[in-house]
Every structure is written in C-alpha cells, then in structure tokens.
Amino acid sequence: MPRFVYTKPELILYEKLKKEKINFSTQIPILIKKYKKYVYVDFLIEKKLVVEVDGIKHRKSKIRIKKDIIKDKALRAKGYSILRIPDYEILNNVDDCFNKIIDKLIRIKRRFNC
C-alpha cells in the first residue's frame, strides 16, 4: 500500500525534480510476478530509473535492508535501474542528489543508446 504523505526529504526531491522539469511519477506500484505482489517505489524517473529515498530504518534495520535487497533485485530483473539516496543527503544538499540522478540517467541512456 503506498503512502500518500511524503517525508520531508521526499518532498524536497519532488520539488527539485518538478522545478527542473524532469519526467517522473511517485509512489508507483510495479508488479513483481515472481512474488505475486506489487512493490511501491518512491520515484520512477523517465520510466527507467527507480529512486528510493532511504530513511534511517533502511540503514539500521537488518530486516528492512534484506527486504530492500530483494526489492532491488526484483526491479532490476524487470529492467529498472535503482538509485538509493539516504534522506540526510537530500536534506544536506539536494543539488548533489539531483546531479547523481542526472548522471545515472545519462549512463542508462548510453547503455541503451536512447
């Protein structure tokens, strides 16, 4: 089930992507047939790049870390690239995080000659 309330770092990134006119969607369900369920991603950028904003539980909880590894593997198997950004990085410097996203998109486009 998606969250309909953004965390502060998610909202900051949302506003930055919107300001820069990046094509993106948020809290998107993606079907993982192997597990017969949907996973929700924080941001889906240009239908290729999943960006996850990781709070402290994604760094400290062994269970959450394991679930994230499984989620990332399943998304990669469907052809998505994944970029995980710690929430504190967005809070400290959203411009650097935005540049990481753009760099990753450039690498994706080069790989697929888009």
30 within a domain of the structure (yes/no): yes
23: left (phi over 0), alpha (psi -120 to 50) or beta: beta
114 within a domain of the structure (yes/no): no
2 within a domain of the structure (yes/no): no
93 within a domain of the structure (yes/no): yes
Find the CATH number of the domain harbouring 92: 3.40.960.10
Instruction: Count structural domains, the chain.
Output: 1
Whose CA is closest to 40, among 70, 71, 15?
A: 71
Q: Burial level of 41, CB count in 10 A (0-12/13-18/19+)?
A: buried
Predicted pLDDT at 113 = 72
* Full pLDDT tens readout for the chain, 114 residues: 455 678 999 999 999 999 999 999 999 899 998 878 899 999 999 999 999 999 887 788 889 899 999 999 999 999 999 999 999 999 999 999 999 999 999 999 888 775
24 within a domain of the structure (yes/no): yes
Predicted pLDDT at 112 = 73
31 within a domain of the structure (yes/no): yes
43 within a domain of the structure (yes/no): yes
1 within a domain of the structure (yes/no): no
Domain of residue 39 covers 8-109
Predicted pLDDT at 97 = 98
Whose CA is closest to 88, among 19, 20, 13?
A: 13
Residue with tokens 């996973």: 39
